[in-house]
A = this chain, B = another copy of it.
Amino acid sequence: MAEAASAAGAPRASRLDRRKARTRQALIDAAVRLIAEGRGDRASIQEITEAADVGFGSFYNHFDSKEQLFQAAAEEVLERWGQMIDRASAGISDPAELFAVGTRITGRLGWTHPDIAGFLTGTGLDALDIPGGLAPRALRDIQAGRAAGRFSVPDAEIALSAAAGGLLGLLRVHQRHPGRIDEAAVDQLAEALLRLLGVPAPEAARLAALGLPETGNW
């Protein structure tokens, strides 16, 4: 997103640019915080700018609307989430295993990163439409799995939506009934989703029980 320097241009970034970036980031951080707190997009722009300690008018220097801010905030959160999964799945090439790892890490967000989990349940299935989110990557995995004959599901997008629904359901149950969801429950969901994708049951069980790599804190 950084503006390209003009062809013959100078280094093209200092102070002013940093100030601008700082303001923008303050707004995004405030939005992430508010969403995670469950205030969803019900927070007023005044509330947001106040939380970001920024003048009201500044908001519109960076975003055209509240929705646009929340979209940017969503992309940021999903980006971190994606990196977390990338780290955990480094070296894995089997699409089914990749899918299992992604599912299990996401399900664990409920207690490892409640803020992200809250964010996801707050946005619902709309999270699938967020560009740069995890959806494109998961979609790629599913399609790769189909191409490799590992999955037999007919439509990748539908399967993705089902997987997202399952994960969101799990996170929601966790929020509403703390303690009812544990690692075993997450692994069982991953197993069930693999079966949905057409992986034979015994193989699904095996994939959902593999050791899970460390993810780090972010």
Q: Which of A13-21, A85-93, A168-176 contacts B (4 or more CB under 8 A)?
A: A168-176
Q: Which of A25-33, A46-54, A72-80, A155-163 contacts B (4 or more CB under 8 A)?
A: A155-163
Are A162 and B163 in contact, with the CB atoms below 8 A? yes
B residues near A201, Cβ cutoff 8 Å: 198, 200-201
Interface residues of A in 173-210 (CB under 8 A from B): 173, 180-181, 184-185, 188-189, 192-193, 195-198, 200-201
Are B161 and A168 in contact, with the CB atoms below 8 A? yes
Most buried by B among A126, A169, A180, A200: A169
Number of copies of this kind of chain in the complex: 2
Contact A159:B154 (CB < 8 A) given known A125-B125, A195-B195: no
A70 to chain B, nearest CB (A): 14
Assign chain A's interface to a size class. Answer: 35 or more
- Complex Cα distance, B184 from A118, in Å, reads 36
Question: Which listed residue (B126, B160, B184, B196) contacts A193, Cβ 8 A?
Answer: B196
Contact A173:B198 (CB < 8 A) given known A166-B162, A193-B162: no
Which A residues lie at the B interface, using CB under 8 A? 124-126, 128, 153-155, 157-166, 168-170, 172-173, 180-181, 184-185, 188-189, 192-193, 195-198, 200-201
